[in-house]
Structure formats: C-alpha cells, structure tokens
Amino acid sequence: MLYIVGLGLGDEKDVTIKGLEAIRRCDKVYMEAYTSLLSFGLSSHGLSNLEKLYGKPITVADREMVEEKADGILAEARSGDVAFLVVGDPFGATTHTDLVVRAKTLGIDVKVVHNASVMNAVGVCGLQLYRYGETVSLPFFTETWKPDSFYEKIQKNRMLGLHTLCLLDIRVKEPSLESLCRGKKVYEPPRYMTINTAVEQLLEVESLQGQDVYNEDTHCVGLARLGSEDQMIVAGSMRQLRTVDFGAPLHCLVIVGSMHPLEEEMLEFYKLGKTSEA
C-alpha cells in the first residue's frame, strides 16, 4: 500500500490522526522536499520533531530522488506499506499525481490522506473560496527570462470580478548553471519569492504590457507562513504591500476582485496598521 499523506501547512501537529496512524503503520516513510518546504521541513530540527512524533526515521526525497528511484519506492509499496509525506494536501502539485498514476498503473493500492493546502487555507483572509478564478504561478524573473503567461489569466479573472491566488516561486536544490557546465552538480541555495518581489514583477509586466489589468492602487492581500502560529496577513494596495516586511517564507498573494460586503468587513481586520493575526 502506498499512503500519500498530507501534512498540512504549519508544523508537525498539523498531521491528522488518520495520517499519523497510517505513518506509524508503514515500513518506510518518505517526505517530499521538492515542491514546497515549510517551517518543519526547513531544518534538521524540524525533521527531528516529525520523526519524534511519528516514531520513525524519515527519508527526505528530493525531486531527483523521486524521479530516479520511483521504481524502488513503488516496489517497496508493493510488498509492504510505504508513506509518502507531502506538505499541504497531496494534490496541490503535479508531481504527486505522477507518482499516483505510476502506482495505479502497477496495480499498487493507493490511499490518500487529505489535509489543508494553501488552495483552501487562503480562505482565512475572508475572501470566499468560490469567488476565485484560475490560480496563477509567478516565476522568478531573470535579466533575460520574464515569462508572463500569468498576466492574461489575471486579466480574465479581473474581468469576471474574481480574486486571483498567486503562488510564488520556490527554488529548492536547483543545480547552478556553472556547475551544470562543468558536469558536476553543485546546488544553488534555496530561494523563495517574497510578496515584495511578486508585486514588483507584477507591476513590471503591467508596465510592459500596458493593458491596465491592475496598477499600484489595486487591492491585494499578502499572506506569509499561512497556517503557522506566526502567520501574517496584510491587506493593502500593491504600493503598500511592496514595502511590507513579511518575514520568513512561504509567501503568497491574492489580487482582490469585486467584493461582497462580508468580504470587505473581514479584510478590514487585515488592513495595514491593524492586527494581522488570525
């Protein structure tokens, strides 16, 4: 049996009882380290908290490992019980769908244990989840590479009066360009896009495209460390959020569409200068 267990967003105690029981039942426990990492995955300290709670050693599986050793992991799941731990909910990212497809193709039973993900926990800011349009991803720009397919999607959402959840780029264990040229892999330090960078890139694309999709006065909500004890939520214009210090990752951003009165009332609590706890 392959258990795909969502760990939620905050710390080791966000696992569900069902998830914990599944993990404790397993012979082998892997934890994904390639689509998102959070407080408890960022340090060896965090990992040991997990291992203590689970009473099991955890093998951290980065993207390379999952791609290269998927056959081995699946073979283990055929003969015994294997848990694959995922930050958030198991189906937040494509990579897990791929693992599930491979397992099912081999006739291996798959059991999913759901949990909160940014896709639903973002509801905490008061903007109703059913009023969101397509979610977009903002990649890190470089001098020569500024992909902007999100711009048209945001435009369509805004034309419909819908909110847009922007997921911000995470670069973990990226081989450095230099090391690739030399044929020996050396990894860049991990990078997490801040809300500040996201707003700057959004405004840069607006100034290049000039379709008036949004501007410095457009209402947004910045959310940092969503679901953690020290989460931070600030509502304000792009101009305002550009300079707010949101602290440690992970960050995400919502571009606000048209609002119902109750949504407005709730956002009031997160306006700059007010308390930002939920």
- Distances 90 to 9, 125, 200 between C-alpha atoms, Å: 12, 23, 31
In the complex, least distance from residue 169 CB atom to a second copy, rounded to whole angstroms: 14
User: Which residues face 93 on adjacent strands?
Assistant: none
Contact string 166-205 vs a second copy (x = CB under 8 A): -x--------------------------------------
Rule CB under 8 A: choose which of 52, 68, 106, 129 binds a second copy: 129
Q: Which residues contact 16 (CB under 8 A, 6 or more apart)?
A: 6, 8, 113, 114, 115
Query: Is 208 marked as a binding-site residue?
Result: no
Query: Is 172 marked as a binding-site residue?
Result: no
Treating both helix axes as pointing N-terminal to C-terminal, what angle do 63-79 and 94-105 enclose, rounded to 10 degrees?
30
Rule CB under 8 A: choose which of 119, 140, 188, 237 binds a second copy: 119
CB of 138 closer than 8 Å to CB of 130: no
Is the bond into 129 cis (omega within 30 degrees of 0)? no
CB of 64 closer than 8 Å to CB of 113: no
Say whether residue 24 binds a second copy (CB under 8 A).
no
Say whether residue 131 binds a second copy (CB under 8 A).
yes
Contact string 37-56 vs a second copy (x = CB under 8 A): ----------------x---
d(CA 222, CA 48): 30
- Map the footprint of a second copy across residues 154-173, applying CB under 8 A: 156, 160, 162, 167
Q: Is residue 71 helix, strand or coil?
A: helix
Query: Is 251 marked as a binding-site residue?
Result: yes
Say whether residue 120 binds a second copy (CB under 8 A).
yes
Say whether residue 265 binds a second copy (CB under 8 A).
yes
Rule CB under 8 A: choose which of 65, 74, 112, 203 binds a second copy: 112
How, if at all, do strands 251-255 and 59-61 pair?
Answer: unpaired
**Binding site residues for S-adenosyl-L-methionine, as ranges?**
9, 89, 92, 117-118, 168, 226, 251
Q: Which residues are annotated as a binding site?
A: 9, 89, 92, 117-118, 168, 226, 251
